[in-house]
Amino acid sequence: MNELNPQHTEILESISQANFMTNNLWLLVATVLVFIMHLGFAALESGFVRRKNVVNILFKNVMIISIGLLSYYIIGYNLMYPGFNPGGIFAFNGFGLTPPEGGMGPSNGDYTFWSDFIFQGMFAATCCTIVSGAVAERIKLEPFLIFCVLFVSLSYPITGFWKWGAGWLDARGFYDFAGSTLVHSVGGWGALAGIILLGPRKGKFKKGRISAIPGHSMPLAAVGVFLLWFGWFGFNGGSVLSADPELVSLVFVTTSMSAAAGALGAFIVSYIMYKSYDLSMVLNGILGGLVGITAVADSVSPGNAIIIGIISGAIIPLSIRFFDQLRLDDPVGATSVHLVVGIWGTIAVALFGKFEDPNVGQLTDQLIGIFSIGAFSFLTAFVIFWILKKTMGIRVSENEELQGLDIREHQFTAYS
């Protein structure tokens, strides 16, 4: 076999360098898009709460991204990607970050170590943002921030290691492309633990009846959802972990088809249930479509993405009603959008993934992953919240709740 001449070698090296730069740049652009999702969450949650609690919810969202990145840098990343113990349950590579020799990430040179860290760090903070909306309007600030430190530092990266860090679920064949379970359901389980221990807001359930407590700004909520849809192109598209033109393009299409179908599914079911055109349900239906496709966006046809999205959106009003009947108060519908639809999206991998017929073996692996990650995440969150409840207390007083957290905790209001 003839050896390549120096000119050919130089050309191949130039192509390799160009591919590396393109992949690395796309991952950083995707990181920026995921960062914008935190603005979307802040706007959405602000719109869905009453005006007397807007500063409080914004303060929590600002602190979540800050706490999330610092916690993930100090301990979380090395729990999630320790670089050893494949097929294991737990591994830890020490505090802080030390890039490997050459500075390449775990992709054998597709992007740098630092690009991988900052992209994954944006994901890590998202799980506590999900919890923030569910426990809004009655949780004390300091215990919530302590919960975020522990949840992002320990719970999220441990379960993340099980799949994305080449742990035991990865060895089994469990699949979750961008985090329907590993990010969204994890946050949803944490939210469920929080609202169980907190109890409902005053006035939510009166004499056995469910009373609506509308948010103060639907325009702000709508802006938040569009920002989240925009950011999801980075959330899912960046999870390709390269700038592969065909695969990234497919992910953009399946993500958008599912989001659009989610709006339609929520619109139809909520109208059948309530005979009204409920904007909040449609907005959550879009988010449901986005969550539902996240586990399988890289390996499903656009037509099947529409089916996944319609079912995701249809689940939202049914799930919100279900939680209300259990007297579990979630002001933004986070448990329905992220937990329930996250479970559905992970199951959809076995039903629609890889353009194949339903796969019973894959379904078993998906259910094992859903159950194990759900049990660990819920129990961890419940224990953290329970300890905080017994030591510091996690709920504001009735008087503070009625007056609003902005005045009592921040001595400030969102609007003059």
Domains of the chain, CATH where assigned: 20-410 (1.10.3430.10)
Determine contact, residues 405/147, Cβ cutoff 8 Å.
Answer: no
Which amino acid appears at position 169 of this protein? Answer: L
Determine contact, residues 185/336, Cβ cutoff 8 Å.
Answer: no
Cα distances (Å, whole numbers) of residue 37 to 25, 32, 225, 394: 19, 9, 9, 27
Determine contact, residues 157/121, Cβ cutoff 8 Å.
Answer: no
* Single pTM value for the model: 0.95
Residue 11 confidence (pLDDT): 75
Residue 112's contacts (CB-CB under 8 Å, 6 or more residues apart) are 24, 99, 103, 104, 105
Q: Which residues of 242-267 are buried (b: 16+ CB within 10 A; e: fewer)?
A: bbbeebbebbeebbbbbbbbbbbbbb
Cα distances (Å, whole numbers) of residue 166 to 118, 120, 151: 19, 15, 21
Determine contact, residues 123/34, Cβ cutoff 8 Å.
Answer: yes
Which amino acid appears at position 373 of this protein? Answer: I
Task: Look at the block and give the residue holding tokens 């961008």.
Answer: 178
Return d(Cα 226, Cα 257) in angstroms, integer: 14
Measured N-to-C along each axis, helices 341-352 and 279-293 cross at an angle, to the nearest 10 degrees, of 40
Q: Give the number of other CB atoms < 10 A from CB of residue 20.
A: 15
Return d(Cα 114, Cα 157) in angstroms, integer: 17
DSSP string, 32-57: HHHHHHHHHHHHHHHHHS-GGGHHHH
Which tokens in the block code for residue 92? 């830890």
Residue 1 confidence (pLDDT): 45
Task: Look at the block and give the residue holding tokens 């609202």.
Answer: 195
**Helix (H) or strand (E) run with residue 209 in it:** strand 209-210
Distance in angstroms between the alpha carbons of the first and the last residue of the chain: 78
Rg (CA), the chain: 22
Residue 358 confidence (pLDDT): 72
pLDDT digit string (tens) for the chain, length 416 residues: 456 577 777 777 777 888 899 999 999 999 999 999 999 999 999 999 999 999 999 999 999 999 999 999 999 999 999 989 999 999 999 999 888 776 666 656 689 999 999 999 999 999 999 999 999 999 999 999 999 999 999 999 999 999 999 999 999 999 999 999 999 999 999 999 999 999 999 999 987 789 989 999 999 999 999 999 999 999 999 999 999 999 999 999 999 999 999 999 999 999 999 999 999 999 999 999 999 999 999 999 999 999 999 999 999 999 999 999 999 999 999 999 999 999 999 999 999 987 556 778 899 999 999 999 999 999 999 999 999 999 999 999 999 999 999 999 999 999 98
Question: Which long-range contacts link 36-39 to residues 24+ away (Cβ below 8 Å)?
Answer: 36/227, 36/230, 36/231, 36/234, 37/122, 37/126, 37/227, 37/228, 37/231, 37/232, 37/234, 37/235, 38/64, 38/65, 38/122, 38/125, 38/126, 38/129, 39/224, 39/227
Length of the chain: 416
**Helix (H) or strand (E) run with residue 205 in it:** strand 205-206
